[in-house]
Structure 1
């Protein structure tokens, strides 16, 4: 205990001059999204959105115009952090204007849909080119577990039928709500809806409110899944923290809404960042 108190005291002393030295926090636009190319791998199964249709493409042009006027110096996306070279190559061809020809020659037909529809290319690359951003940074970290089947088995063994039903009902309600919105909302409306504080909180709440309670008292299958989800997002956010420099005034972080819900909490605890709301950026 005395070592913990000593550590806290040292950190407090060190933080004081650092806080005085910091002039202005970097503005962080945390943009949570659904996956434009929907492989159906998430627990909640949603319908696909016609991202290549003329209406969505027109909206993307307007949206990325506004994001470019936000003037980000760095853009982070949900691509593997350890495959930055591949992301650099894709973005380089996008900037050159021969992106379509490159993916035609580089990837088999069944993979090309991903490289055409994914939000990284459709939104981040487009905004980055308009903003003059030289590089798009990957921050995804996937070497974590998500043992949902084990959590279900733990709940069954603990006779938590009510909790199982509550989790299934939650997923069904979210699925129905998202499918309704995909069928009726414009792309802009969808992204604004995904990024309201209410939506982000609801996205995160299921982990603590339900999954963390899974299993008997001595069975930590539920908390393990939740901790792994936190770990993945903490690792991802650490890349933003370590990549941003004092010279970077603004950044965009484009990730799935589930990640955005977690990272919002982390960003609020780091005084070097000030969150900007998507509605304010797109409203201008």
Structure 2
């Protein structure tokens, strides 16, 4: 969580100048940062936090928490994907940002250039093919924008070892219990209807985003002894990675972009939502609101 602090040091020759300046300062402070731009002129940012579609095959799943995943290639989920993509196309983002390394944009350009829409049930289980490429081609976009940043660390195993050394078994056990509860809840949603939409709604709920953000603040940051900083390092590295992602997006959005779309893993979206909330010129749009809009 960041705070902006402005320090203004003004020296005036006369008392009248000082009073005049004070009046102006008070007038300026009556406006909140968000009031600098009307809602109607703000860039609309469609946020979609997702699981990685290819994790349907457990051998592809490198996430710390292992869960069951829906198969996006079923006829039911293909219909849902078609609905999602059509609604996003109606929304009309001028730029689409995806979880692909910014440093490999040329490679992404080549993949997208050779992507041919067709029978998506025969394509790979990948959110690129199945969602972002499908929408971009429908909107005749010339490019999809990679914004991921990989030059960061996530020393989870070392952090757990440090916690064990520091006799934080109770904290570790509590976290494991919470993980099991979350896995159970998530798997229940998957197993109930095998619906892609149900999973996306769950991952993009404010409650789930809060749980995700809280893990870094209340578990990782608390890890280890007082003198041990590995948990704080892990939490700060996650924030740093996402700050870089946000920066890549900010620097590629212009005043001409009235609407954009960001498709990333749900943990990335959880923290990006906080960043964007402090942007006076942007406002977020949720997938559920878009789909339920008449």
Count of paired positions: 263
Change (3 A) 1:141 1:210: same
Residues 1:47 and 2:56 are matched in the alignment:
no
Matching residue of 1:77 = 98
Q: Is the 8 A contact 2:221 2:232 kept in 1?
A: yes
| Aligned alpha-carbon RMSD (Å) | 2.6
TM-score normalized with structure 2 length: 0.83
Over 3 Å off, 4+ runs: 18-23, 96-100
Please identify, of 64-73 and 44-53, the stretch whose mean Cα deviation from structure 2 is larger: 44-53
Kindly state the Cα deviation for residue 132 of structure 1 after the two structures are TM-superposed. Answer: 2.6
Flag structure 2 segments of 5+ consecutive residues without an equivalent. Answer: 10-24
Change (3 A) 1:139 1:216: same
Report the Cα distance in structure 2 between the residues aligned to 1:78 and 1:184, rounded to whole angstroms.
28
Q: Deviations over 1:165-211 (max 9, x none)?
A: 11111222222222221212411111111111111111211111111
Tell me, what secondary structure is at the counterpart of 2:81?
A: helix
Kindly state the Cα deviation for residue 98 of structure 1 after the two structures are TM-superposed. Answer: 8.1
Matching residue of 1:24 = 41
TM-score normalized with structure 1 length: 0.85
Report the Cα distance in structure 2 between the residues aligned to 1:116 and 1:90, rounded to whole angstroms.
13
Higher helix share: 1
Q: From the CA coordinates, give the structure whose radius of gyration is larger.
A: 2
Tell me, what secondary structure is at the counterpart of 1:150?
A: helix
Report the Cα distance in structure 2 between the residues aligned to 1:61 and 1:143, rounded to whole angstroms.
35
Matching residue of 1:105 = none
Report the Cα distance in structure 2 between the residues aligned to 1:72 and 1:223, rounded to whole angstroms.
36
Kindly state the Cα deviation for residue 20 of structure 1 after the two structures are TM-superposed. Answer: 6.9
Q: Is the 8 A contact 1:43 1:171 kept in 2?
A: no
Q: Deviations over 1:131-152 (max 9, x none)?
A: 2322111111111000011111
Matching residue of 1:88 = 109
Matching residue of 1:225 = 234
Residues 1:58 and 2:79 are matched in the alignment:
yes
Report the Cα distance in structure 1 between the residues aligned to 2:214 and 2:147, rounded to whole angstroms.
23
